[in-house]
Amino acid sequence: MLFNFTVMKIRTILVGFFMLGCGVSVVSQTTKPKVKDTTLTVKYLISSDWTFNFGNLNSFITVNQGQLAVEQRVIGTQLLVRYRYGALEGVVNNNEFYTNVDVSLFPKNKVYVFANGGVEFSFLRGVNLRAWAGLGAGFKVLNTDDHVFEPAVSFNYEHNNYTTPVFYQGDSTDVVNTPIVNLGWTGSHKFFKGKLLIVHNYKWTQDLLFATNYKFTGGVTLAMPIIKNLMVKTAVLGSYQNVVPADKKQGDLIWTIGLAWGNI
């Protein structure tokens, strides 16, 4: 009963994220499209967020993240690095490191293809090592100076090494190797001449061999510029993994406040 209630809450959050993303994007369709850009584009973002006593772990949490995107007409590269730290009464219970690299062909086109890979270490989820690699496609549904909405799909092979055994396909194991599919989007919207920025992103990961092995991350961020390229921001971030070691929690929902510097 508790699991079903948790899933219902998670699904409600996802529906909210989806309605916000699609609704804002539809309203934004009246914006004049950008002229096709063939120049080199470099975007970056460094952010640090803090929160107290929110989410399932009820601990002090910091989320520190860096993003870099370099694109020209034929090829582009995007790098994301995130470090999450959490402690409860001085004991670390929430350490996480995540990095992902995308290399895309014709990234400025409305439809483009990419190869991606990454690694993750997570005390939070009981993961010694998670690594993945694969291919995918992105779709620039909306791409203007003020509004971006970009769904993507990718197929990856994923390796998972857990700190203690998990229940997978009727067996108990600490290593899971499986093909997966990722479905998600990224979106950003500027309002009031750039004085308000809304960023929303979501990713659902589904195991292709075991239907009940799935996970998601998603969130909505509001940001306001203080000076050029420096913003104060607040965000609601959610994550859920259905297959975790028995001593770990599956879901987490936090509210953060922080600063960001960049031009993304």
DSSP letter for 194, please.
Answer: T
> In this predicted structure, what is the pLDDT of residue 94?
76
* List of residues 6+ apart from 179 with CB closer than 8 A: 155, 156, 157, 158, 207, 208, 209
Instruction: Give the pLDDT score at 264.
Output: 73
d(CA 231, CA 195): 10
User: Radius of gyration (Cα) for the chain, nearest Å?
Assistant: 19
**Which CATH number does 2-39+103-116+124-262 carry?**
2.40.160
Name the stretches of the chain with pLDDT < 70.
1-38, 52-58, 88-90
pLDDT for 83-141, tens place per residue?
Answer: 988 876 667 777 899 999 999 999 989 999 999 999 999 988 899 999 999 999 999 99
Ordered by start, the domain boundaries in the chain are 2-39+103-116+124-262
Identity of the amino acid at 177: N
- Total residue length of the chain: 264
DSSP 34: P
Do 65 and 81 contact (CB within 8 A), yes or no? Answer: yes
- Per the structure block, which two tokens stand in for 178? 């499986």
What's the pLDDT at 215? 95
Give the DSSP letter string of 110-141: SEEEEEEEEEEEETTTTEEEEEEEEEEEEE-S
